[in-house]
Structure 1
């Protein structure tokens, strides 16, 4: 599968990326890929080990003459976001990705591509394989479950990494280098809500909201795109005068992806059917107008269906749940003052599900300030506490505090200017890079993050600009050699001075 990738340049990187495309690796199911990489490392005589969290570390000794250079850690995550269009059946636990090239970009048919962070992983593997590269001691750290919970980084073994510099290869913009990121936490709401049977004067209907672009819940949160959960709850709220009662609800599939679709089965008073359909038609136009120029594919419909096996919520429970969801924080909360143009705090109402009276909600709060993350979680507790529903805050992880005076950053910027003729933009990202967690466990590490040009991450529109991969590869190789050479020269200068 994906044979055409071998024709792309740099071939060493694309060959490893092809392996990742052919090997299913959704979050939490990276074991098969880890085993494959362990066999690859054994074939090349490279030392490797796993920690208790399932992370994989592969080591390569320094090039002869570079033994005194501080070590470099190449870091990326093995898992990918598993998103497919509803009309494109794909089993992410079994099926390889189906990639194709169009207008200089690589895509996957109907699914996410996994360039986030597959190309960073592929580049790290290519570095390990490239025996023409001059380098100090190398460590390639491949973490697991980054997209679902940051579980790999949070559970990373301490005392494991020996390197001085860490190159995180999980950024998505050519010409930019990242030195800080948001922290975050998962907000989980769950409850068993009271139900009662469909009444004789009620009829069952199916609400569908589809066609949104979706995207990354951090990088794209400020772009004004629709959130299917936010919008369908708004529709449900508007239909309350029609006596709506929720039977089931399904919206979004991942807490870190903007939900593109949401569906609800509802019971309505039989005499309110025509009014409800008319109101849905009006709402379709209202929402389409509001999203015009940003999310133009919105589709909203209400259709009569056969009664399901489950009972609807009671009128009171349905009203309270819709009200709480309607009031829940969603989107950008505050922009940063210290870092203009960057979101400081946001929340993505990522997954909402109701089945047989059981509610499950998973939201992802992000912030450059850990205190704001905690406060947003507490707001959820307060809101859902008003309707007697429990809220839990889990998988909290810290942000990465910027260090604009970093010597590693200065080296990268000089290299970028010399190689490409322009300075790299220094950025802070409103997304959950693992650097904050890794820095907490290994405070001696000096870190930057950079990568190729990826667009549409966390959605089936994900794509990577092919030329940017070659640029990324060239920067990575030259930076590794520059770190080794500068340290060698520094060591030689110290030795001659001491003599």
Structure 2
């Protein structure tokens, strides 16, 4: 499958990306891919190891004469975000990603593409098999579960890596290089809420909110796109005067993806159903007008649903009110780095089933203290409805080092190879560099990559020409680090 990828250039990179597309690899299910990569390493005479967390490290000896040079670490994560359009049946643990080319971009059919971070992983593998490249000692570090929890980086062995320079290949903007990133934490809220019997004159209906663009909960958080959980809770507030009471809820699938769809089952008096349909039409028009230019295809529908016990009136109102005021979106812009979000939150996953409530939000900030404070606000808010809140998978930010010699080399080479002096950026997303830098403080690090858009959504795509440029610059920086040329 995906044989057309073999016609793209550079062929070694796209050949490896084809392997990644054909090997299912959602977070937590990287084992088949690791088996494939270790067999490939054996076939190419490369040594490989795994640490206690399961991360994979492949080593390649230096080109003769370069043995004493500082080592270079190529780093990326093996897993991908598993998102498919609701009407498209796709089992990410079994089915390959089906790709196609359109107007210079590579897309996937109705699912995420996995260019994040598959292109970076493919590039590292292609470097390892390149016998024309002059280089010092090479290490390719492939981490696990980056998209779900950062577990691979968080549990990485601290006495494993030997290199001095780390090239993180997990960025998504052409002509840019990243030297800092936000830290973050998952905020998990759980509660057991009281239910009641369904009334004799009540019916259960599902309110569906669909049609949003979605996207990356860090990179896209400031773009004004709709969050399905935020919007559906607003709709539920508007339906309370009609006697609507929550029965069940399912919104979002990943804490690091802007929710594109959300569904709420509600109990309401049967004689109010026509009025609710009319109100939903008004609300859809309101939301479409507010989201014009970014998410104007939002749709609201009232559909049949299975009968079940609703929450008590008080519990329903309290839960909807708490969700309505929960932090969501951009909290603060950075003063030190103009134009960059400092602190944000994504209401990523919200569930209610038989009175069991679950929420998973992802808080991000360039300041670890702000991450902690926003998480504590969740704890304070949801304690008012008797919920328990815990903070999980916290990871630190990456402090910029603008005077780095590695950065200076990269900027010079990028200008020489592409004619463009790259923009030096700090990203409001969770690159693994912050975690790795905490474990290996001696590392000099940069992050760069090709142009990827729509990451974490079925709109994900990668610009093909930018992949060739990315490959050219990657080879150049590795060869430059193997030379005596000054930065």
Same fold (TM over 0.5): yes
- List per-residue Cα deviations over 1:209-230 (Å, max 9, x = no partner): 0000000000000000000000
Aligned 1:253-268 pairs, distance under 5 A: 253-268=253-268
Q: Distance in 2 between matches of 1:273 and 1:96?
A: 43
1:378 positional shift: 0.2
The answer on 1:411 being equivalent to 2:446 is no
Partner of 2:155: 155
1:84 positional shift: 0.2
Partner of 1:392: 390
Moved more, 114-123 or 38-47: 38-47
1:22 positional shift: 0.2
Please give the secondary structure, in 2, of the residue aligned with 1:479: helix
The answer on 1:90 being equivalent to 2:125 is no
For residue 350 of structure 2, the aligned residue among 349, 352, 356 is 352
1:430 positional shift: 0.3
The answer on 1:447 being equivalent to 2:467 is no
1:269 positional shift: 1.9
The answer on 1:75 being equivalent to 2:75 is yes
Aligned 1:151-190 pairs, distance under 5 A: 151-190=151-190
Q: Distance in 1 between matches of 2:140 and 2:192?
A: 45
Partner of 2:129: 129
Partner of 1:58: 58
Please give the secondary structure, in 1, of the residue aligned with 2:438: helix
- List per-residue Cα deviations over 1:290-344 (Å, max 9, x = no partner): 00111121101123x2543x31111111111101100100000000000000000
- List per-residue Cα deviations over 1:50-97 (Å, max 9, x = no partner): 011110000000000111110000000000000000111100000000
Please give the secondary structure, in 1, of the residue aligned with 2:87: coil
Q: Distance in 2 between matches of 1:358 and 1:486?
A: 62
Q: Distance in 2 between matches of 1:451 and 1:306?
A: 45
CA contact (8 A) 2:234 2:324 kept: yes
For residue 455 of structure 2, the aligned residue among 433, 444, 457 is 457
Q: Distance in 1 between matches of 2:238 and 2:389?
A: 26
Q: Distance in 1 between matches of 2:79 and 2:335?
A: 33
- List per-residue Cα deviations over 1:390-434 (Å, max 9, x = no partner): 111000000000010000000000001111112000000000000
CA contact (8 A) 2:206 2:305 kept: no
1:481 positional shift: 0.3
Aligned residues: 487
1:244 positional shift: 1.3
Partner of 1:119: 119
Partner of 2:25: 25
Unaligned residue ranges in structure 1 (runs of 5+): 491-499
The answer on 1:472 being equivalent to 2:470 is yes
Partner of 2:333: 335
Please give the secondary structure, in 1, of the residue aligned with 2:482: helix
1:356 positional shift: 1.3
The answer on 1:437 being equivalent to 2:430 is no
The answer on 1:214 being equivalent to 2:200 is no
The answer on 1:427 being equivalent to 2:420 is no
Unaligned residue ranges in structure 2 (runs of 5+): none
What is the root-mean-square deviation in Å for CA atoms of aligned residues? 1.0
Partner of 2:319: 321
Q: Distance in 1 between matches of 2:157 and 2:181?
A: 22
Partner of 1:283: 283
Partner of 1:497: none
Please give the secondary structure, in 2, of the residue aligned with 1:80: coil
CA contact (8 A) 2:265 2:305 kept: no
The answer on 1:311 being equivalent to 2:328 is no
Q: Distance in 2 between matches of 1:24 and 1:486?
A: 42
Please give the secondary structure, in 2, of the residue aligned with 1:239: helix
Please give the secondary structure, in 1, of the residue aligned with 2:483: helix
